[in-house]
């Protein structure tokens, strides 16, 4: 997994030869100022968080260690996917505890707010490159508005979305595929009775992919098919507690031959309170292209005169599903606007 660990080389991790070269240079600052504070720190990726305990996979493939956060880092915290430096006991001996002293700058951050009016961000996963949006074709029924929210969250976080439609043994998926055809994102279909995972493995190769979706859609079943050693609990979800009997409720990164897949069982919804208004429209790539023909100050909402989206609906160029997507976009923009006003 060492390809994942490419911290920016800066003052924090000069190696000995760097220090020596500068020490010979008369103009250089005193050597002590450039010496790394913790040159012996171990580097790894956070793969699970359980209250204040962090499970970290070491970058040299020498195993997992348990760590706590140094006091200075406790406010900012760390999440699954963070690349961290640790000191202390980095063995995996019983009871060994390392200390995280540095969190590398995040390349991406998937966040959510509790609801659209709550602008407090909660970090979910750092450094992911893709968001795999899982929806069942039946049981439970697909919720296209929820998929739209996930798409907006992916776009906002800078992740490549992938749509994965499960349970295709139960119903025909062509209508749903058609609904999102204008988006130009990869779509894969799966069924647990004949799991063919080649295409998904190809999409996941070299990537850090976060799996999201309503509970019961088959996320854990899919991850188990992809990584048989993951052995995630699957099954019915208790209607009262919202939790499966043995279903774990925490975010977890699972190593692939080349990359990671991250299951997010506890994450039920993405509020979009933190998403920028303009970014919402851009996440609907097909509609964004049409909206370029709008009047310059167009809000694209229902009451805006001469909105090109309305023209496209009237002309029938978007089709039935396009009209539904405009409606979905407008609802999301409406709630984002209300959040902005607060």
Ligand X SMILES: Nc1nc2c(ncn2[C@@H]2O[C@H](COP(=O)(O)OP(=O)(O)O)[C@@H](O)[C@H]2O)c(=O)[nH]1
Binding site for Zn ion (CB under 5 A): 291, 294, 298, 300, 307
Residue that has been written with the tokens 């809000």 in this structure: 299
> What, of Mg ion, ligand X, Zn ion, none, does residue 298 touch, CB below 5 to 8 Å by kind?
Zn ion
Nearer to Mg ion, 218 or 271 (CB): 218
Nearer to ligand X, 217 or 336 (CB): 217
> What, of Zn ion, Mg ion, ligand X, none, does residue 101 touch, CB below 5 to 8 Å by kind?
none
Could you tell me the smallest distance in angstroms from the CB atom of residue 269 to ligand X? 14
Could you tell me the smallest distance in angstroms from the CB atom of residue 258 to ligand X? 24
Nearer to ligand X, 66 or 248 (CB): 248
Handedness of CA 223, 224, 228, 230 (dihedral sign): positive
Could you tell me the smallest distance in angstroms from the CB atom of residue 301 to Zn ion? 8
Pairing of strands 160-166, 83-88: unpaired
Could you tell me the smallest distance in angstroms from the CB atom of residue 232 to Mg ion? 6
Nearer to Mg ion, 259 or 265 (CB): 265
Nearer to ligand X, 165 or 333 (CB): 165
> What, of ligand X, Zn ion, Mg ion, none, does residue 192 touch, CB below 5 to 8 Å by kind?
ligand X
Q: What are the residues binding ligand X (CB under 6 A)?
A: 166-167, 169-170, 191-192, 213, 215-221, 234-236
Nearer to ligand X, 36 or 216 (CB): 216
The rounded distance, in Å, linking the Cα atoms of 106 and 103 is: 8
Nearer to ligand X, 99 or 219 (CB): 219
**Phi, psi dihedrals of residue 193, rounded to the nearest 5°:** -80, -20
Residue 2 to residues 44, 58, 59: CA-CA distances in angstroms? Answer: 9, 9, 5
Choose which of 130, 168, 209, 220 interacts with Mg ion (CB under 5 A): 220
Residue 209 to residues 45, 91, 162, 237: CA-CA distances in angstroms? Answer: 14, 28, 9, 24
Residue span binding Mg ion (CB under 5 A) among the ranges 116-124, 152-160, 219-227, 251-259:
219-227
Nearer to Mg ion, 174 or 249 (CB): 249
Residue 307: Cβ within 10 Å count: 22
Residue that has been written with the tokens 């899982």 in this structure: 134
> What, of Mg ion, ligand X, Zn ion, none, does residue 55 touch, CB below 5 to 8 Å by kind?
none
Pairing of strands 53-58, 42-50: antiparallel
**How far is residue 81 CA from its own chain's centroid?**
9
Nearer to Mg ion, 244 or 259 (CB): 244
**How far is residue 258 CA from its own chain's centroid?**
17
The DSSP annotation for 255-282 comes to: EETTEEEEE-TT----B-TTS-HHHHHH
The rounded distance, in Å, linking the Cα atoms of 90 and 67 is: 8
> What, of ligand X, Mg ion, Zn ion, none, does residue 235 touch, CB below 5 to 8 Å by kind?
ligand X
Could you tell me the smallest distance in angstroms from the CB atom of residue 218 to ligand X? 3
> What, of Zn ion, Mg ion, ligand X, none, does residue 217 touch, CB below 5 to 8 Å by kind?
ligand X
For residue 265, state whether it binds Mg ion (rule: CB under 5 A): yes
> What, of ligand X, Mg ion, Zn ion, none, does residue 252 touch, CB below 5 to 8 Å by kind?
none
The rounded distance, in Å, linking the Cα atoms of 171 and 203 is: 24
Question: What are the helix and strand counts (H, E) for the chain?
Answer: 10, 13
> What, of Mg ion, Zn ion, ligand X, none, does residue 179 touch, CB below 5 to 8 Å by kind?
none
Angle between helices 319-341 and 308-315 (to 10 degrees): 160
Could you tell me the smallest distance in angstroms from the CB atom of residue 64 to ligand X? 23
Tell me which H or E stretch contains 338.
Answer: helix 319-341
Positions touching Mg ion (CB under 5 A) are 219-220, 265
């Amino acid at each position: 997994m060492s390809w994942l660990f490419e911290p920016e080389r800066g003052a924090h991790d000069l190696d000995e030869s760097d220090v020596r070269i500068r020490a010979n240079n008369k103009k250089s600052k005193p050597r002590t100022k450039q010496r790394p504070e913790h040159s012996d720190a171990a580097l790894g990726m956070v793969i699970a968080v359980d209250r204040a305990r962090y499970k970290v996979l070491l970058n040299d493939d020498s195993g997992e260690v348990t760590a706590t956060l140094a006091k200075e880092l406790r406010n900012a915290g760390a999440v699954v996917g963070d690349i961290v430096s640790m000191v202390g006991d980095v063995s995996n001996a019983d009871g060994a505890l390392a200390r995280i002293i540095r969190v590398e700058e995040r390349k991406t951050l998937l966040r959510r707010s509790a609801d659209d009016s709550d602008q407090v961000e909660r970090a979910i996963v750092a450094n992911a490159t893709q968001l795999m949006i899982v929806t069942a074709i039946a049981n439970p029924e697909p919720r296209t508005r929820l998929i739209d929210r996930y798409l907006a969250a992916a776009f906002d976080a800078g992740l490549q979305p992938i749509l994965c439609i499960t349970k295709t043994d139960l119903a025909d998926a062509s209508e749903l595929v058609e609904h999102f055809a204008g988006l130009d994102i990869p779509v894969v279909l799966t069924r647990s009775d004949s799991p063919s995972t080649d295409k998904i493995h190809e999409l996941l190769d070299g990537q850090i992919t976060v799996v999201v979706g309503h509970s019961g859609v088959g996320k854990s079943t899919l991850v188990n098919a992809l990584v048989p050693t993951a052995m995630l609990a699957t099954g019915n979800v208790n209607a009262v507690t919202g939790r499966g009997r043995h279903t774990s409720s925490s975010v977890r990164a699972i190593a692939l031959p080349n990359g990671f897949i991250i299951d997010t069982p506890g994450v039920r919804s993405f509020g979009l309170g933190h998403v920028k208004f303009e970014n919402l429209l851009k996440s609907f790539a097909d509609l964004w292209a049409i909206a370029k023909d709008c009047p310059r100050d167009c809000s694209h909402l229902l009451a805006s005169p001469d909105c090109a989206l309305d023209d496209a609906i009237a002309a029938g160029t978007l089709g039935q599903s396009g009209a539904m997507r405009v409606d979905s976009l407008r609802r999301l923009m409406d709630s984002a606007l209300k959040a902005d006003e607060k």
